[in-house]
Amino acid sequence: MSSLSGSFLRFTGLLFFVLWLPSAQAQADWHGDIKFLTDYVYRGYSKSRGHPVVQGHLDYQDNSGWFAGLSLSQVRFDDQLNMDRAEIEIKPYLGWSLPLSSDWRTELSVSGYIYDNKIFNHEANYAEFYASLHYQNWLSVRASIAPNAYQRQVDVANYELNVRHDLLDNVQFSAGLGYNQAGALLGQDYFYWNAGASWFMTSYLAIDLRYVDVALSSRQETELHHDEFYPRQQNNKYLFSVTLGF
């Protein structure tokens, strides 16, 4: 069995396990979705080398404010010559949401990034901590810190501002601006942004189209080394996704 087909079977098994959990815990407040994306863009670089991916997501929220969940995604970095390369990303998370007033609420959370194998010849599992502030349902700001990101002995901080606005009952505009303080990891700090619209076709089906851009200069091939962390810089382009929720 090829590495690609084996990875696909492992991913499919994990995805079906995640989607089975809500039926096994019907009494709990579970929500989930399956998403198809044309590219796994993450803070200015691609985790899928510009290729489409399938993702699964499961979330639980408690009335007391606690929430937890798990996300699964296919990944593909520019280390395809390595036989022990990672092809699946598992992201568990846990957090607490606290209302500050009728308009404001804050969130504190932690998430893990767990990979089924190595990234650029290194073990890469790591954790990230977040603090968020939300105003009504249209404005969010978030700061995060990832100690020892990708196990590269560096700390990476990230800051994001996101806005949302309902254009119609089932159409929403959203945009985001981020600053990734990743100079120790990627050689430079940079801004990235996106803007687009989501169409909620039914209660369970949504499509999204948005433009993504990043102010990140390309690295020269002569600067690259076999075991460095050099994910593929995202192309400034339109991204399309289809989400089936439950």
Specify the number of domains making up the chain.
Answer: 1
Q: Which domain holds residue 210?
A: 3-21+30-245
pLDDT value at position 3? 46
Model's pTM, two decimal places? Answer: 0.85
Distance between CA 177 and CA 238 in Å, rounded? 16
Beta strands 30-37 and 104-115: pairing type? unpaired
From CA 122, how far away is CA 145, in angstroms rounded? Answer: 20
Helix (H, G, I), strand (E, B), or coil: what is residue 172? strand
13-17, 110-114, 164-168, 208-212 — which is least confidently predicted? 13-17
- pLDDT tens profile 183-238: 999 999 999 999 999 999 999 999 999 999 999 877 644 455 555 788 888 888 99
Which pLDDT value is given to residue 216?
83
Would you say 73 and 92 are in contact if contact means Cβ atoms under 8 Å apart?
no
Query: Residue 40: is it exposed, middle or buried by C-beta count within 10 angstroms (0-12/13-18/19+)?
Result: buried
Query: Domain holding 96: CATH number?
Result: 2.40.160.40
- Average pLDDT rounded to a whole number, residues 137-145: 98
Quote the pLDDT of residue 217: 79
DSSP letter, residue 16 = H
**Contact yes or no for 118/86 (Cβ under 8 A):** yes
C-alpha dist (Å) from residue 60 to 17, 19, 31, 69: 15, 13, 6, 6
> Which SS3 state, helix, strand or coil, does residue 52 take?
coil
Give Cβ neighbours of residue 35 (< 8 Å, ≥ 6 apart): 54, 55, 56, 57, 241, 242, 243, 244
CA distance 199 to 143: 28
> Could you give the count of Cα atoms lying within 13 Å of 19 in the half-sphere of its Cβ?
14
CA-CA distance, 5 to 8, in Å (whole number)? 5
